[in-house]
Structure 1
Amino acid sequence: MPDHRKATTKAIAVVGDSRVDGIGSTPGADRRWTDLLAERLAARGGQTRCVINQDIGGNRMPADGIGTAALARFDRDILAPPGLGHVVTAVGNDLVFSFAPHTEETAGFLAMFPGATVTADDIIAAHLQWAARARAHGAKAYAATIAPYGGTDMYSPEGDKAREHV
């Protein structure tokens, strides 16, 4: 595999879920936080940095969700692009879906995410695994905060406690 670390352009690969996908922003307007990050980096000048948005709404980290688990697609979607310098992980769905209350309102949605409960320790282990993989590839690794989600149908005190632990 060629060494892309000396490339003129440095890539920042972001793997995430619906927050990275732009939920709540205007569709087609390029107003996701990754778009704004790219604009800010371009405006400051200096070394060119591109932001690669590898999101899937409903994505999960160690478990499959809507699409293949982020950890399983890490090499293909995150490590493969040339010039990779930074990796940002912004996936919080595993904890939200694992601890969500199973009610009549949530049952249909949660049925799309079968499997065992994913714990805070599972998420921490997944973060450590791909931070090590990113560093071995010559990239710096970052983890975005798993955003609070109180007031949603998916909220549970147990899930929020796990989120805070991570």
Structure 2
Amino acid sequence: MSGPFGRGRRVAAALLTAVCWPIGPAHAAGTPTGPAARTADVLTWAAGADRMSDGTPGRGYRLIVRTSVGGSGVRLRFTNAFGDRPLTLTGVYAGLRDRGAALRPGSNRRLTFRGARTVSVPAGSVTWSDPVPGRLPAGSDLVVSLRTPDAAGPASGHRTAMQTSYIGRGEHTAGESGADWTRTTGSWWYLDAVAVRPARRDTGAVAALGDSITDGWQSGTDLNRRWTDYLARRLRTAGTPVKGVVNEGISGNMLLTDGDGQSALHRLDRDVLGQPGVRTVLLFEGVNDIKAHTGVTAADLIAGYQDIARRTHAAGKCLVVGTVAPFKGWYEWDPAAEAVRREVNRFLRGSGDFDGVTDFDHTLRDPHDHERMSPLFDRGDHLHPGDKGMRALAGTVDVGSLDCTR
């Protein structure tokens, strides 16, 4: 298994002595320390934040995330976006995973925040850690451990991780053994982004903004088989400077309406446009708006897509849009919903508002019934593709369309 500071155990071991994740030098007052101060930063991992259950005081979390692009100067973003009071984080560490909740010996390093070991994140806000020297390769399992000493009220995080992380007593975050991390969680708590500084300054990332299909629901847990994972593996060997792939899917998410997560319209700035190194947005939303039968029309959805296009382009980023996949057989399907889906897809394919179109509908549909997902890709509920479908979605993306300059 590759570790964050080299490929393979032999290389990682040789580099460990050269790596020094900082206890943290003090920063001069007024010195910028956010992403704006490090213009070459690029996201290597992210997850759309939502309101979670209430936080637990004194709890420790050991979170496992998979990187997409390699680089140095690792920084982590912590979120209190849905909290109703300040969130204190302490005992925050990051290291390399061995297996389960255990870290590779000697790899766990303390994180700091403007040189301090504890940070208070205001309600409704996010905060970035100081950079950690050392190189983090693509395809690494990064382990982030943290403690919430006085957490209360709504927590912020990502509910459907499709990845096992761990819960324990907060005083064990510095330890590298997995013995004290006896409980598991299928969510990511308080962590919503990781950035690195790639070796090549022209490196960028694509952010996939979507719903449960992008979130990876029905793909293999702990196997990194979301379509974005397959895309990240494609990009590592592709002749494009776009190497980072970040998954901003939220299960149940809609384009227009808040519900399971804020709508794509409402979370666009926090989850995508305000993130470092995102060059292109790949928008794959709409099916939940259509099947919810809330009276949403094709014209409503088209206006939403156009609004996201305007805002994305105004931010100097490119927008590739995915067509809405078929879902006949799902209990909310009916001919009226299908008519909206088809009208929306006609617009997406023919509009000049976007920098590229990825025809997910064409890839997933049954060649004998275009209203239904192909049985080859259907996980069984007629809405969510399984692992073969996820791989097919990733293969549909024209990697050249992601390297778009505005």
**Fold match, TM over 0.5?**
yes
Aligned-pair distance for 1:4?
A: 5.1
- In the alignment, the residues of structure 1 paired with residue 314 and residue 275 of structure 2 have an alpha-carbon distance, to the nearest angstrom, of 15
Count of residues paired in the alignment = 149
2:204 to 10, 17, 30: 10
**Which residue does 1:83 correspond to in 2?**
277
Quote the Cα distance in structure 2 between the aligned partners of 1:134 and 1:29. 32
1:42 and 2:220 aligned: no
More displaced stretch, 64-73 vs 4-13:
4-13
Residue aligning to 1:127: 305
Q: 2:291 corresponds to which residue? A: 96
1:53 corresponds to which letter in structure 2?
N
Runs of 4+ in 1 over 6 A off after TM superposition: none
Sort the Cα spacing of 1:90 and 1:17 in 2 relative to 1 into closer, same or farther, 3 A. same
CA deviation profile, 1:60-88 (whole Å, cap 9, x unmatched): 11101211111101000010111121111
Cα drift, residue 22 of structure 1:
1.0
Q: Which residue number in structure 1 is paired with residue 113 of structure 2? A: none
Deviation of 1:46 after TM superposition, in Å, equals: 4.4
State the Cα distance separating 1:52 from its structure 2 match: 1.1
Aligned twin of 2:323: 145
In 1, Cα distance between the equivalents of 2:227 and 2:321? 15
Q: CA deviation at 1:23?
A: 2.1
Shift of 1:28: 1.9
Q: Unaligned 5+ residue runs, structure 1?
A: 99-115
TM-score, normalising length: structure 1: 0.82
Question: 1:132 is matched by which residue type in structure 2?
Answer: R
Q: Distance in 2 between matches of 1:58 and 1:4?
A: 33
Measured after TM superposition, the shift of residue 118 of structure 1 is 1.7
Deviation of 1:48 (Å): 4.7
What secondary structure does 1:15 align onto?
Answer: strand
Matching residue of 2:256? 62
Q: Which runs of 5+ in 2 are unaligned?
A: 1-34, 42-200, 345-406
* Counterpart Cα distance in 1 of 2:227 and 2:300: 26
Which one-letter code corresponds to 1:126 in the other structure?
G
SS in 1 for 2:264: coil
Q: Distance in 1 between matches of 2:232 and 2:263?
A: 25
Displacement of 1:158: 0.5
Q: Which one of the candidate residues 210, 214, 218 is aligned to 1:20?
A: 214
Specify which of 334, 337, 341 is matched with residue 163 of structure 1: 341
Are residue 29 (structure 1) and residue 29 (structure 2) matched?
no
Q: Normalization by structure 2: what TM-score?
A: 0.35
SS of equivalent to 2:323: coil
- Alpha-carbon distance between aligned partners in 2 of 1:142 and 1:13, rounded to the nearest angstrom: 10
2:206 and 2:242 in contact (8 A); partners too:
no
Q: Give the corresponding residue for 2:114.
A: none
- Structure 1 or 2: larger strand share? 2
3-state SS of paired residue (1:51): strand
User: Which stretch has the larger CA shift, 44-53 or 118-127?
Assistant: 44-53
Q: 1:117 to 1:86 in 2, by over 3 A?
A: same
SS of residue paired to 1:71: helix
Q: Identity rate of aligned residues, in percent? A: 38
Amino acid at match of 1:119: T
Secondary structure of 2:305's match? helix
Q: Which amino acid aligns with 1:93?
A: N
Cα RMSD for the two superposed structures:
2.0
Higher helix share: 1
**Partners of 1:146 and 1:163 within 8 A in 2:** yes
Q: How far apart in 1 are the matches of 2:254 and 2:261? A: 8
- Give the Cα separation in 2 of the matches to 1:120 and 1:32: 28
User: Matches of 2:331 and 2:216 in 1, distance apart?
Assistant: 19
Q: Distance in 1 between matches of 2:205 and 2:242?
A: 9
Could you say which structure has the larger radius of gyration?
A: 2
Change beyond 3 A, Cα 1:4–1:61: farther
- Aligned letter for 2:338? D
Code of the residue aligned with 1:79 in structure 2: it is: L
